[in-house]
A = this chain, B = another copy of it.
Amino acid sequence: MNVVVIGGGAAGLKAASRIRRKDAEAKITVVEAGKYVSLGRCGLPYYIGGLVHEIDNLRETTYGAIRDENYFKRLKNIDILTLTKAIEIDRKKRTVRVVNNGKEDELNYDYLVIATGSRPVKPPVEGIDAEGVTTLTSAEDAEKIIEMWEEGAEKAVVIGAGLIGLESAEALKNLDMEVTVIEMMDRVAPTMLDRDIAILVEKHLEEKGVKVLTNTRVEKIVEGDGKVKGVVANGKEISADLVVVATGIRPNVELAERAGLKIGETGAIWVNEYMQTSDERIYAGGDCVETNHLVTGRKIIAPFGDVANKQGRVIGENITGGRAVFPGVINTAVFKIFDFTVAATGVNEAAAKDAGIEYMSVIAPGPDRAHYYPGTAYIRLKLLVEKGTWKVVGAQAAGMGEVAKRIDILSTAVQAGMTIDQLSNLDLAYAPPYAPALDPVITAANVAMNKRDGMFEGITVFELKEMLDREDGIFILDVRSEDEFERNHISSEKVANIPLLELRERLSEIPRDKEIVIVTVCALGLRSYEAARILKGAGFEKVKVLEGGMAFWFE
């Protein structure tokens, strides 16, 4: 059997390796347009930031062998042709025309794997090709950024506050540069996060000295002496001697398209659940294909390294006679930004609305381990629950603690179709260094059940701000301690402070006017829930809890 793989990234090499593991005899050739194969591109920001010391670390095995052409040949008997571009597929003859350094060649295949990946999209603005403007998707990009820094670049602008943009911002800040992030949408990580969780991330970025400009559109890149000088956005110029463009990717489908393979509704290559294209001899995987979103049922592009690896395995399995399936994804993602971990899975509010899912949302913060254990940090966790079925359909979280763990538990639960009632009794691993007795995941499920069952009514910071702006009849009851209240509170004359423990004794201080909505407020949302129950028990009717507590408040 003769297999040609186009693309030496995660999907292509995983497919090639799996084929070799199952078939000792197959001839396997991988064609790669770039200089390297198997580069862990997700590690590039950490290479720039200095956490990863050598670019070669990003293409090593766990035991320190460099995954280059020699490695693949000697270990796996796989031929790798680097700096070689596939330029045409002839499906009738089953050949691929390739070109290396101007020399053309033709490779025969019994099976072909297309893993051509994606390329960064640059916004079509003046000056975008100026010297000093770069993307961050290759080793060369990373080397160029480091070179500019070494040559004295001090001010960086990152265009796009998606995952790569934010990771780049941290890396550049870690090099002591002055960093501004510009985002067109109203929040950072807009495809991943809702605005409330995004606010936490934006606050943390500002705390760490990174300037974030949301709702801001780049109009022009200013050049001087043949080099970038600044970025004009919303009419103002921000000076910059280094610009990183991270405004998304586009799948490389041209080769497949020219060969007449079916392109899906997303613009990526269509494949079935076996990762087979519309030609049964041709498989495809990685950033260049579309896949299913298992919650919405929609087709999406999921350009993540883990997805490419899983798809590559399925391809290799099926080319060698297997019948493996890749069902799809639920857009689980995580990123580190300074001391914060930010993660999400399933749908966010925008995606739920778009897919017509009727949902209820709750925000439930909690400590990531027993609160008395050293190093405990608070996680802000948001759940989206489908009304009626009460299944969890999405989750987002941010904080300094073990956020990724909770999102992985929830991701598994979403994929299993678990309800909040099932989550509430989930048997998770409890010991003080790892979780509180009720894990934040379980607390969130309990809060969601309380909300469903009418035990409390929540109000978001956005709704509360609007009520204050409209000057509605409102009384804000902050039930934190006096010290906490002194440190920061909602600046409005409608705020009163009664520490929770004193509330039953001081109920007379709260207005009994039926027109007034009482909003209870605390640090995390736990005391204010307790306060709301006390008020309800005492006959107050319109009582709402500020969901998530003061961490979400912004003036």
Task: Tell me the A residues contacting B by CB distance below 8 Å.
Answer: 10, 20-22, 24-25, 40, 42-43, 46, 51-52, 57-58, 60-63, 65, 71, 74-75, 77, 163, 294, 304-310, 313-314, 324-327, 329-336, 341, 343, 345, 366-367, 370-374, 402, 404-405, 407-409, 411-413, 415-418, 421-422, 424-435, 437-439, 442, 446, 455, 480-481, 484, 500-505, 522-524, 526-527, 530, 533-534, 536-538
**Besides the contacts A24-B538, A309-B438, what 19 more A-B pairs have beta carbons closer than 8 Å?**
A21-B533, A42-B437, A46-B373, A51-B373, A52-B373, A60-B371, A62-B526, A63-B484, A63-B527, A310-B424, A310-B442, A326-B425, A327-B425, A331-B427, A332-B428, A334-B430, A345-B429, A407-B429, A412-B426
A335's nearest neighbour on chain B, judged by CB, is: B431
Residues of B within 8 A of A335 (CB): 431
Residues of B within 8 A of A534 (CB): 24
Interchain CB contact under 8 A, B433 and A336? yes
- Oligomeric state, in copies: 2
Interchain CB contact under 8 A, A427 and B373? no
Residues of B within 8 A of A327 (CB): 425
When chains A and B are docked, how far (Å) is the Cα of A71 from the Cα of B504?
12
Interchain CB contact under 8 A, A306 and B40? no
Interchain CB contact under 8 A, B341 and A42? no
Residues of B within 8 A of A372 (CB): 40, 43, 46, 52, 57-58, 60
Interchain CB contact under 8 A, A413 and B412? yes
23 pairs of residues in contact across A and B, judged by CB atoms under 8 Å: A21-B533, A22-B455, A24-B537, A40-B372, A46-B372, A46-B432, A51-B373, A52-B372, A52-B373, A62-B524, A63-B523, A75-B503, A307-B427, A310-B438, A333-B429, A333-B430, A334-B430, A343-B429, A345-B427, A408-B439, A409-B412, A411-B429, A412-B413
Q: How far is the CB of A548 from chain B (nearest CB, A)?
A: 14
Residues of B within 8 A of A371 (CB): 60-62
Interchain CB contact under 8 A, A10 and B437? yes
Interchain CB contact under 8 A, B430 and A306? yes
Q: How far is the CB of A336 from chain B (nearest CB, A)?
A: 5
Interchain CB contact under 8 A, A430 and B305? yes
